[in-house]
């Protein structure tokens, strides 16, 4: 069974590669999900021996790009210093009998989206989302394809774990200091993130959908929502499921438009898998975006499995749909906003393993406290 730790270059460097891999062994971990690309980030690192805060305002590549890219290209982090940490990490892990997985952030890239607003998501209000590239854009698809092909040739990579290779699931989680005077709800957050750029409109028109009409309906709903006093919206947040259903019923083309988006990402996934398979690694999924990486039968047309939340019922459901050959991993997030006691962590790992998962991804090395490694070791040891 794979027990993998999400890890960033800066926290590995601050610990030291040998000390980092020693920590893995002591915790019973046998794999690393290395962040090969990552968006802008600020982290509080309680157990880091060199510093307690890391901040990068840029979307960076934490590997040494080798391929020929077009207008969109990954920007190497200054932390690389001309070295290739993917190859170095893969070599050290291989000697210790551990596996390397590349955790790859795709469309969530504020640098590229800001530099090329014509390729960014553009919502129904006509506003670009400057942190997110649109996966329907041919140049974006080419960039993602070359990116994975490039990464697959670095070191001994067991699998690629993809995140944000589809549409944004919502409006939040994109900017450095996000602010809104309105209560957040999932329905309007999603409406704010739906893309109506030229590429998305062309794709909709090819399926006979009036994208302009769908956009106008969404715009009217967003304006209505923004003009409603915030104190009234606070009471309405729990009822947003009903509001979403009512909107879909009033605008039948809305659901069809969402199906077009899912097909765009599905076809992109098939292309990406073929690219990766040419270099041998498997393609696992965290979430391609917009709930795309769900346990549906067509998932196996473009992936080898997925990483679900650490919930036994989710594992059983995924196994029932995907069958015995699919890899089903569980994402474990033991820290805030819902910190797990050692007992609760052990119970979650044991229950998910008993439900048929193939491995665990523990989040994340940089955020761990000094006791987290021991908590993970005890949870893994409980499996026998």
pLDDT tens for 81-133 read 989 999 999 999 999 999 999 999 999 999 999 999 999 999 999 999 999 99
| Statement: residue 239 has pLDDT above 80 | no
| Statement: residue 199 has pLDDT above 70 | yes
Cβ–Cβ < 8 Å for 61, 36: yes
Three-state DSSP class for residue 125? coil
First-to-last CA distance in the chain?
Answer: 11
Percent of the chain with pLDDT over 90: 81
User: Six-digit token pair at 159?
Assistant: 């699998």
Those residues with Cβ within 8 angstroms of residue 212's Cβ, 6 or more apart along the chain or in another chain: 201
Whole-number CA gyration radius for the chain: 21
Mean predicted lDDT score pLDDT of the chain: 93
| Statement: residue 185 has pLDDT above 90 | no
The helix or strand, by DSSP H or E, that contains position 32, with its residue range, turns out to be strand 31-35
The pTM of this model reads 0.94
Q: How far is CA 337 from CA 24, 36, 234, 314, 340, in A?
A: 24, 25, 21, 21, 10
User: Between vectors from CA 5 to CA 312 and to CA 159, what angle results, nearest 5°?
Assistant: 85
Q: Which residue has the higher pLDDT, 157 or 288?
A: 157
Those residues with Cβ within 8 angstroms of residue 272's Cβ, 6 or more apart along the chain or in another chain: 144, 145, 148, 162, 165, 283, 302
* pLDDT given for residue 89 in this prediction: 95
Cβ–Cβ < 8 Å for 143, 69: yes
Predicted confidence (pLDDT) per residue in 290-348, tens digit: 677 788 878 899 999 999 989 999 999 999 999 999 999 999 999 988 999 999 999 99
| Statement: residue 237 has pLDDT above 70 | no
User: Six-digit token pair at 181?
Assistant: 């005077």
CB atoms within 10 A of CB 259: 12
Among the listed residues 104, 171, 99, 94, the one whose alpha carbon sits nearest the alpha carbon of residue 131: 171
Taking residues 33-44, report their average pLDDT: 96
Predicted confidence (pLDDT) per residue in 55-86, tens digit: 999 999 999 999 999 999 999 999 999 899 99
The DSSP code for 108 is: B
The helix or strand, by DSSP H or E, that contains position 287, with its residue range, turns out to be strand 282-287
Taking residues 157-167, report their average pLDDT: 93
Query: How are beta strands 128-133 and 120-122 bridged, if at all?
Result: antiparallel
Identify the band that residue 48 occupies on the pLDDT scale cut at 50, 70 and 90. very high
Fold observed for domain 2-381 = TIM Barrel (3.20.20)
Q: Which residue has the higher pLDDT, 165 or 172?
A: 165
* pLDDT given for residue 177 in this prediction: 73
Predicted confidence (pLDDT) per residue in 348-357, tens digit: 999 999 999 9
* pLDDT given for residue 296 in this prediction: 84
Task: Choose the weakest-confidence range: 22-36, 242-256, 347-361.
Answer: 242-256
- Residue spans of the domains in the chain: they are 2-381
* pLDDT given for residue 238 in this prediction: 65
Question: Residue 7's beta-bridge partner residues?
Answer: 34
* pLDDT given for residue 260 in this prediction: 96
């Amino acid at each position: 069974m794979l027990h993998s730790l999400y890890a960033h270059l800066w926290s590995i460097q601050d610990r030291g590669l040998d000390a980092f891999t020693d920590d893995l062994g002591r915790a019973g971990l046998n794999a690393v999900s290395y962040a090969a690309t990552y968006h802008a980030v600020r982290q509080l690192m309680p157990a880091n021996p060199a510093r307690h805060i890391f901040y990068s305002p840029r979307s960076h590549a934490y590997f040494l790009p080798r391929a020929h890219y077009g207008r969109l290209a990954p920007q190497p982090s200054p932390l690389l210093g001309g070295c290739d940490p993917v190859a170095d990490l893969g070599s050290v892990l291989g000697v210790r009998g551990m596996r390397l997985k590349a955790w790859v952030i795709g469309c969530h890239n504020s640098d590229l989206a800001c530099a090329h607003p014509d390729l960014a998501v553009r919502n129904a209000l006509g506003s670009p989302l400057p942190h997110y590239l649109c996966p329907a854009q041919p140049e974006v698809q080419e960039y993602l394809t070359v990116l994975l092909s490039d990464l697959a040739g670095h070191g001994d990579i067991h699998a690629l774990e993809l995140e944000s290779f589809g549409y944004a699931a919502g409006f939040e989680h994109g900017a450095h200091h996000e602010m809104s005077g309105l209560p957040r709800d999932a329905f309007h957050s999603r409406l704010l993130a739906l893309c109506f750029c030229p590429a998305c409109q062309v794709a909709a028109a090819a399926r006979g959908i009036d994208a302009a009409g769908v956009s106008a309906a969404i715009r009217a709903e967003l304006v209505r929502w923004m003009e409603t006093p915030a104190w009234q919206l606070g009471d309405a947040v729990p009822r947003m499921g009903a509001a979403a259903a009512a909107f879909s019923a009033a605008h039948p083309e809305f659901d069809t438009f969402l199906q077009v988006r899912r097909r765009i990402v599905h076809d992109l996934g098939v292309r990406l898998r073929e690219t990766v398979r040419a270099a041998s690694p498997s393609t696992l999924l965290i979430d391609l975006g917009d709930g795309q990486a769900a346990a549906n039968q067509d998932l196996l047309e473009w992936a080898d499995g997925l990483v679900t939340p650490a919930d036994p019922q989710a594992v059983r459901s995924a196994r029932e749909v995907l069958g015995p050959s699919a890899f089903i991993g569980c994402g474990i997030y033991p820290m805030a906003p819902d910190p797990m006691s050692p007992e609760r962590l052990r119970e979650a790992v044991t229950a998910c393993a008993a439900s048929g998962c193939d491995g665990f991804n523990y989040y994340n090395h940089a955020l761990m406290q000094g006791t987290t490694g021991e908590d993970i070791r005890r949870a893994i040891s409980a499996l026998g």
